[in-house]
Every structure is written in C-alpha cells, then in structure tokens.
Amino acid sequence: MAYVSTCSRANALQMQRLLRPGRHCYAKSALYTSTSTGSNTSSDGTDTFDQARFQLFAGSASRVPSLDPVKNHRHCPLVYHEDYSFDGWPPEHSFPMDKFERLAHVLLNTPTATGIEEEDNEDKQPLVLDSQHFFRPLDYSSRNLPLLKNWLSGPLDKDFVQRFLEAQLSTEEARQIGFREQAHQPKLIRRTVLEVAGTVLTAQLACHYGIAAHLAGGTHHADHQKGAGYTILNDLIVAASCCLTPTDASSSLELPFPIDRVLVIDADVHQGDGTARCMQALPHLFHNRLFTLSLHCASNYPHPKAHSTYDVPLPDGMTDQEYLETLKRTVTKAVDEVQPDLILYDAGVDIYKGDRLGRLDVSLEGIRQRDRFVVEYCAVQMEIPVAAVIGGGYDKNNVTALAQRHAILHEECSRVWRDHQLWNKALV
C-alpha cells in the first residue's frame, strides 16, 4: 500500500472534498427535515436555520442543516438527547447513568471563556446558551425503527440486536454487560439505541463541519454479538459502518465525500477490545477500512486483551508528561500510516488520577492538553473530520465533578472550532 506524506495528505483530502460535485466549503442553504410546520424565513426572504424548531434526521433523504452563525460560533456541533439519563437507576450501581444529564447541565450552566465578546456584557457565559442548541439524534420510535435496526444490524448480529430490543437477553448476557435486571428496562433499551444514533449523527456532522462532539458514546467493550463492561451496542462500530462508503454505493447517510477509511483513536483507560474484535470478526465490512488505536492501562480491564491495529499499553501511575508524549507520538504515527477519511475519538476521562476505575495519574490539565492535541492535530493540521465521544469516567460520589471532566472535551473541541473558524470551511 502506498502512502503520501502528511502534508500532501492534508492537501489531497482538501482537494478531494472541494472537487466533489455540488459541494461548497461554506455552510449555506442546506436542506433539513422540519419538526414544525411553521415558516422559518428571515425578513429579507432568505431561509434561516433555527435548531429550536428543527431536528436533524440522519436518514437517506436528509441533508445536514446549516449552522446558525450566532449560536454556533460559540461551539462546534454538539449532540445530546435528554433520555440518555433516566429516573429509576439504582443509586448504588457503579455505572453513573446520570452523568449524561449532569454533563448537559454543566455545559448549559457553567460560565466559561469562549473568546466571544458579548455586547454590553463582560461576564462569562456558559458554552451552550440553550438546550435547543444541541443537535438531537434520530428518535427511537416505531416510525424510525426500521432505519435504526438497519444501522445496527449492518455490523451487529441481528439476533442479538432483536433480543436486546425485545428485552430477551439471557441472565448470563445481562451479567456480562454489568446491568443484570436493568438490561430489560424499556428506558435503558431506549437510551442505548439513542446513544448509538447520537454517535452516527456526530460522525455525519463531523464530516460536514470538521468537528462534532457527542455528550455520550464510546461503548467500546461490546462486540458484534454481545455486550460487556457496561456497554451493550458498540456505537463506534455502527457509526463506522454507516459512514464507510459501501461497495454497492447505497449509503444510508448523506455525506459530503466518500469515507473509505476510518480510524478509531481510543484514549479511554480501558482497551477498546470490543471495537478491535469487531474489526477482526467482520473482514467483509472492515478489512483495510477500519483501524483502531487504543492507548490503555496495561493492567486494567479487560483481560485478556484483544488485538487492535495499534495497541499502546500504559503502566500504572503514568503522569501527564509521559502520557502526552506517548499520545502525540502514536497518534501522529497512526494518522500518517492509515491516512483516514474520518476519525472517531473516544475521549474517556477515566485516565484521571482520581477516577475510581482508572489506574493512571493524569491531571485535569493533562486531559485538556490531550483533547486539544487530538482534535487540533487531526481536524486542523491534517484536515480530517473528528467525531468525538465521551467514553468512560467513574465517580459515583461526585457525578458533577465527573461531568466537569467530561465537559473538557466539548470545551476543547469548541475552542479549536472557534480558533480556526471552522464554520467557514463547512461542506454542506
């Protein structure tokens, strides 16, 4: 296989995008699916986009909507659904189901520096000014179920998917997942499918806008026929399958350019074993098309490890400097060798020194530098779309502090988005 240099790769990819018929390198006049019958026309007669009134459906007939020039200069496209968290989850359970809701709350309520001067107001404001500024994934409904099942059953075992949706998983299957009787709850089934749809949407938005970040996702222990480690359906695998240009040229997503190679950069403290096993078990889908880089604590779960394209086992207690040096070296190597068209970035914060299930000693500033490097290097320097998911993080005694750690990803994605004005380079 012949590879081009990193510099020429960036130039070649940009030319490939620009030369696609009917594409433009700015966000304007995109089509969208309306959830309201009301008009959305400005005083001068031109169409505008209001995320408060429109929901993006990432289906075969949809186009990605243009971004509001005021709202979305603050932050990159962010994907969230309020049903990612739900009432009735056992408070003693080690999986913090309420962290997704807390994360949205942090982004909506924590004053942060955006680099945008608010007129007549010098006070800092939250990164996200209104919950309606989030993009919402395809809803889990009877109307959308055929498309959702088509997405899931592309790379995942149809029987497993069907039994999960019908709350028919065996006791042993539920035990391996770690949810036991919770695995049969309708609310858990709903949020699991919504989460996968959210990562698919995040990947689609990233292809159009350069960067997009999910407020959930990173279910990397599940493989194509079973769940494990608090993960049931592998959203990274489904998103990769949906985005990769199919051999029969019939894609379920509208994308601005062909996706022939996807690289998963998994920086969760636990190895992305399920993603790696899917890659190996499904060569008809992923051979020479999906590649995985996993930086993980060597002594931590899972045991035994799977075989990623690039495995980077890290010693217990690794601190910022060594971690960041290792990250930069391996990410640049993988990107240079794989030459991906899309990067799925799992930004788990369980590398944090205080995480109850991690064994590394990385600080909050180390996490911030990690996220900034991955996103800026890949999306800006190499001009490869980055779809980011939050991955793991565990602190049931202080879920708000955990949510603040996860929010670093969305802050840094948005910082890169603003610093480089990526809305001017959108492909819609």
pLDDT of residue 18: 45
**For helices 145-153 and 235-243, what crossing angle results, to 10°?**
100
Strand, helix or coil at 79? strand
What is the extent of the structural domain holding 113? Answer: 6-425
Beta-strand pair 125-126/111-112: antiparallel
Which among 330, 276, 326 is positioned nearest to 305, based on CA atoms? Answer: 276
- For residue 294, pLDDT beyond 90: yes
- For residue 120, pLDDT beyond 70: no
> Could you check whether the bond before residue 315 is cis, i.e. omega within 30 degrees of 0?
no
Q: What is the mean pLDDT of residues 10-28?
A: 42
Calpha distance 187→214 (Å, rounded) = 20
Name the band, by pLDDT with cuts 50, 70 and 90, for residue 197. Answer: very high
Calpha distance 282→156 (Å, rounded) = 9
- Residue 138 near residue 190 (C-beta atoms within 8 A): no
Calpha distance 263→268 (Å, rounded) = 15
pTM of the model: 0.85
For residues 33 and 142, which has the higher predicted lDDT (pLDDT)?
Answer: 142
Q: Residue 297 falls within a domain, yes or no?
A: yes
Name the band, by pLDDT with cuts 50, 70 and 90, for residue 65. Answer: low
pLDDT of residue 72: 67
Q: Domain holding 172: CATH number?
A: 3.40.800.20
326, two tokens: 């290792």
Quote the number of domains for the chain: 1
Q: pLDDT above 70 covers what percent of the chain?
A: 79
- For residue 208, pLDDT beyond 90: yes
Of 9-13, 23-27, 133-137, 184-188, the poorest mean pLDDT is in: 23-27
Q: Residue 102 falls within a domain, yes or no?
A: yes
pLDDT of residue 427: 81
pLDDT of residue 254: 83
Q: What is the mean pLDDT of residues 349-354?
A: 93
386 forms beta bridges with: 211, 343
Name the band, by pLDDT with cuts 50, 70 and 90, for residue 51. Answer: very low
Name the band, by pLDDT with cuts 50, 70 and 90, for residue 2. Answer: very low
Instruction: Kindly report, residue by residue over 355-396, the tens digit of the pLDDT.
Output: 888 899 999 999 999 999 999 999 999 999 999 999 999 988
Q: Residue 293 falls within a domain, yes or no?
A: yes
Residue 80 class from Cβ within 10 Å (0-12 exposed, 13-18 middle, 19+ buried)? buried
Calpha distance 370→382 (Å, rounded) = 16
Q: Residue 1 falls within a domain, yes or no?
A: no
- For residue 23, pLDDT beyond 70: no
For residues 6 and 384, which has the higher predicted lDDT (pLDDT)?
Answer: 384
Instruction: Report the mean per-residue pLDDT for the chain.
Output: 84
Instruction: Kindly report, residue by residue over 142-162, the tens digit of the pLDDT.
Output: 999 999 999 999 999 999 999
Instruction: Kindly report, residue by residue over 304-349, the tens digit of the pLDDT.
Output: 999 999 999 999 999 999 999 999 999 999 999 999 999 999 999 9
Calpha distance 374→329 (Å, rounded) = 11
How many C-beta neighbours within 10 Å does residue 299 have?
11
- Residue 295 near residue 312 (C-beta atoms within 8 A): yes
- For residue 56, pLDDT beyond 70: no
Q: DSSP labels for 115-158?
A: S-PBTTB-S-EES-S-GGGSB-PPP-STTTHHHHHHHHHTTS-H
Residue 87 class from Cβ within 10 Å (0-12 exposed, 13-18 middle, 19+ buried)? exposed
Name the band, by pLDDT with cuts 50, 70 and 90, for residue 1. Answer: very low
- Residue 363 near residue 320 (C-beta atoms within 8 A): yes
pLDDT of residue 45: 37
Mean pLDDT comparison of 17-26, 112-121, 212-221, highest-scoring range: 212-221
